[in-house]
Amino acid sequence: MPELPEVETTRRGVSPYLLGQRIARIEVRQRGLRWPVPEALALLEGQVIDKVSRRAKYLLIETAMGSALVHLGMSGALRILSEPQPASKHDHVDLVLAGGQIMRYTDPRRFGAWLYVPPGEQHQLLGKLGPEPLTADFDGARLFTLSRNRQIPVKTFIMDNAVVVGVGNIYANEALFMAGIDPRRPAGNISSERYQKLALAIKEVLAKAIEQGGTTLKDFTAADGKPGYFAQELQVYGRKGQSCQQCGSELKEVRIGGRSTVYCGLCQR
């Protein structure tokens, strides 16, 4: 599933093609995505795109008449076409620009979304989200305060979008390894100093992943069709049974919240 770095990579990839351009039309070939694609998206036709922003894993294509809220789901991708091309089975939405270019949304599993947000309003999906991890609003003090008396595993805690957005499974594994924290530890049993280290690790891992264009494991490619290269930097995720790159011991795997969790029993405590 595309996580925050992959969505930010996509935003950066499509923005130069969209900003300042007029939307000629929005062609919806499949309305049965995660939620039905609303007819109200047609209100954006004829409007100039003022901004392409991201909130958590959602993209917002903003105009004076409102915004398109786009989520890539588990297998969704956006790409820019310089000229019309025949749509394939999984090409569900085209945002056609007045200049002829097309931003095409492809989603084999149809678990993504295209929704409409009226001008000046916030969609309910964005209403209860925590801070962005790469901003000053997120730090170790926030993690420490919110974790008191919480007995859930720390990995589950940092993946809670109400605590901080965008720390998906891959990057939670990597940040906990970088901070030397066992992912199974109860969130409430971690000190303020260690949460400071974890917050910095989350920032570093996500920033590096964005710089590398995200992580391609199966489905993800950027808007230009290129894969993300952060997979080459992974220290624990997907490396069960391999040697820890710090101490050489065998990496272990457990399931936390139904998700694969790989860690080093010596380096993480």
Pairwise CA distance, residues 106 & 162, whole Å = 29
Task: Judge whether 3 counts as a catalytic residue.
Answer: yes
pLDDT band at 219 (very low <50, low <70, confident <90, very high): very low
150 assigned to a ligand binding site: yes
- Beta strands 51-55 and 77-81, pairing class: unpaired
- Active-site annotation holder among 110, 197, 208, 259: 259
The three-state secondary structure class of 104 is strand
Spatial CA neighbour of 21 closest among 109, 96, 127: 96
pLDDT band at 155 (very low <50, low <70, confident <90, very high): very high
90 assigned to a ligand binding site: yes
Task: Judge whether 259 counts as a catalytic residue.
Answer: yes
- Is the predicted pLDDT of residue 225 greater than 80, yes or no? no
104 assigned to a ligand binding site: no
Structural domains in the chain, CATH included, are: 4-126 (3.20.190.10), 140-263 (1.10.8.50)
pLDDT (average), residues 74-82:
93
- Is the predicted pLDDT of residue 179 greater than 70, yes or no? yes
- Is the predicted pLDDT of residue 40 greater than 50, yes or no? yes
Q: What is the pTM of this model?
A: 0.88
- Active-site annotation holder among 11, 57, 104, 155: 57
- Is the predicted pLDDT of residue 2 greater than 90, yes or no? no
Task: Judge whether 36 counts as a catalytic residue.
Answer: no
- Check if the beta carbon of residue 76 is closer than 8 Å to that of residue 111: yes
pLDDT (average), residues 198-218:
82
What Rg value do the Cα atoms of the chain yield, rounded? Answer: 20
Pairwise CA distance, residues 164 & 162, whole Å = 6
